[in-house]
Amino acid sequence: MIGGGGVAQQARPNEARPNEAKPRGMAAGEAGLGEILRVFVTLGMLSFGGGLSGWIHREVVVKRRWMGDEAFLAGIALCQVLPGPNAVNLALYIGQQLRGLPGAAMAFLGILGPPFLFILGLALAYGWGAGMAGFGVVLGGLAVAGLANSLTVAARAGRRLRGVRAWGIVVLVCVAVGVLRWPMLPVVAVAIPLSLALSWHEHV
């Protein structure tokens, strides 16, 4: 386009613009496949108990900024309702979001490969040292650390809840599963459509 004595170059379709928004929830840098494998091998080898989601959040969101809080929490919500271990589902979700199918394969291999062999060794060690004095105290300390990590993720998710309806769903699920001991599957089958209906009603 010519005007004002000069020539203005038209932006190419594939050329990044300075103020172009990044995909929501994703980091500016791209994670390499080797880095994804290394991170999830480390997470699988150094994490214990049910607090693995807290470690994953720290490495993926806080430390490396590969994802945002919203994308990570959406992944946790999805993994909670899918069959299989939540940590494995979350690793597959993150790997797929970062690098597609190859990224999911690297995350899956890292979270299950070397840790599986390590757990076999721990099982042998447990059979050998279960009768030793203080062994139960060590396991109790590991359980507390795992619980603290899980509560950290729950606290981060709770800060993003808005409105009485959202907190009402949380309280109802906690009472149904934690107090009344109702089966998880029927509770989730009722809570998910109810949550979607309330969310849709708020945004209409």
Q: How far is CA 185 from CA 11, 77, 157, in A?
A: 52, 14, 22
Q: Which amino acid is at 35?
A: E
Residue 67: closest CA among 195, 156, 196? 156
Summarize pLDDT for 113-168 with one digit per residue, the tens. 887 887 788 778 777 766 676 667 777 777 777 777 677 777 777 777 777 777 88
State yes or no: pLDDT of 63 exceeds 70. yes
Q: Is the pLDDT of residue 96 over 90?
A: yes
Residue 12, pLDDT score? 44
Please state which of the ranges 11-15, 64-68, 114-118, 180-184 shows the lowest mean pLDDT: 11-15
pLDDT at residue 100 in the model: 92
Which of the residue ranges 48-52, 78-82, 97-101, 118-122 has the most confident prediction, judged by mean pLDDT?
97-101
**Closest alpha carbon to 41 in 95, 107, 131, 103:** 107
Residue 35 has pLDDT above 70, yes or no: yes
Q: What is the pLDDT of residue 101?
A: 94
Supply the mean pLDDT for the chain. Answer: 77
What kind and span of H or E run contains 95? helix 86-129
Q: What's the token pair of residue 137?
A: 């105290």
Name the percent of the chain lying above pLDDT 70: 77
Q: Which residue has the tokens 């199918």?
A: 101
| Cβ 63 vs Cβ 97: under 8 Å | no
- For residues 50-80, b (16+ Cβ closer than 10 Å) or e, as one string? ebbbbbbbebbbeeeebbbeebbbebbeebe
Q: Which helix (H) or strand (E) holds 2?
A: strand 2-3
| CA–CA gap between residue 154 and residue 9 (Å, rounded) | 50
Q: Can you read off the two tokens belonging to residue 106?
A: 């690297």
111 or 201: which carries more pLDDT confidence? 111
Q: How far apart are CA 105 and CA 33, in angstroms?
A: 9
Query: What's the mean pLDDT in 62-87?
Result: 86
As a whole number of angstroms, the distance between CA 60 and CA 42 comes to: 12
Confidence (pLDDT) at 5: 45
Q: What is the pLDDT of residue 105?
A: 94
Q: What is the pLDDT of residue 133?
A: 67
Query: CA angle at residue 147 from 34 to 31, to 5 degrees?
Result: 15
Per-residue pLDDT at 10 exceeds 60: no
Angle of the 69-81 helix axis to the 184-203 helix axis, nearest 10: 140
**DSSP H or E segment with residue 120:** helix 86-129
- Checking if the pLDDT of 3 tops 90, the result is no
